[in-house]
Amino acid sequence: STGGTCLRSTKTASSTFSVKANSILVIALLLFSPSIVCAEAACPLKDLTIGETFTFQLAWNGIPVGSVTTTVEEITQIQKRKAYKVVARAETNRWASLFYKVDDTFVTYIDYETSASLRYEAYRSEGKYRKKSVIDYIYGRFLAEYNYLKEDRKKDVDVAGDIHDPL
């Protein structure tokens, strides 16, 4: 948040993106980077609405290729904290899937009080590429615990401040 103002969206939104070839890398980096460290405290998200959904239609050079849908699914408990569970699903349409199928699901758990990320899950299926990972942000220890599920591998990373994942 900047200047103490938090902007909120409508309950449902729909947009169409025309993606230029050189923009695909920037979008991929934003969607799939594991976390962003914020130096400033974020706005509390106490006014998110369960069931709130945003759908974006994706196009490449004007040709529809898929969609991304993000939904605030529920308020739950994680790490003994009240949290919003937000799920995003990116998928190619039938036509684009003939060339390169994408069926990704991303889940984030956002602290109800601070809006910091508590957990980020990525289930990626892009062409032949598959990856399942979970990142738990442990604030009392300033630690991000990466768990690569498919590879049965774990990695701890030191973090400073509140974390906000791409979702």
Q: Could you read off the pLDDT of 28-55 as tens digits, one per residue? A: 434 444 443 333 444 556 678 899 999 9
> Is the pTM of the predicted complex or chain greater than 0.95?
no
Q: How confident is the model at residue 94 (pLDDT cuts 50, 70, 90)?
A: very high
76: which strand partners? 83
Buried b (16+ CB within 10 A) or exposed e, 81-90: bebbbbbbbb
Question: What's the maximum distance between 2 C-alpha atoms anywhere in the chain?
Answer: 47
Q: Is the dihedral of CA 3, 109, 65, 132 positive or negative?
A: positive
Among 65, 51, 79, 77, residue whose Cα is nearest residue 136: 79
Choose from 45-59, 89-103, 128-142 the range with maximum mean pLDDT: 89-103
Query: Given pLDDT bands bounded at 50, 70 and 90, which one contains residue 119?
Result: very high
b or e along 39-50 (b: 16 or more beta carbons within 10 Å of the residue's beta carbon)?
A: eeebeebeebee
- Among 56-60, 90-94, 137-141, which stretch is predicted with the lowest mean pLDDT? 137-141
Write the DSSP symbol of residue 112.
Answer: T
- Given pLDDT bands bounded at 50, 70 and 90, which one contains residue 11? very low
Integer Cα distance of 9 and 29 in angstroms: 24
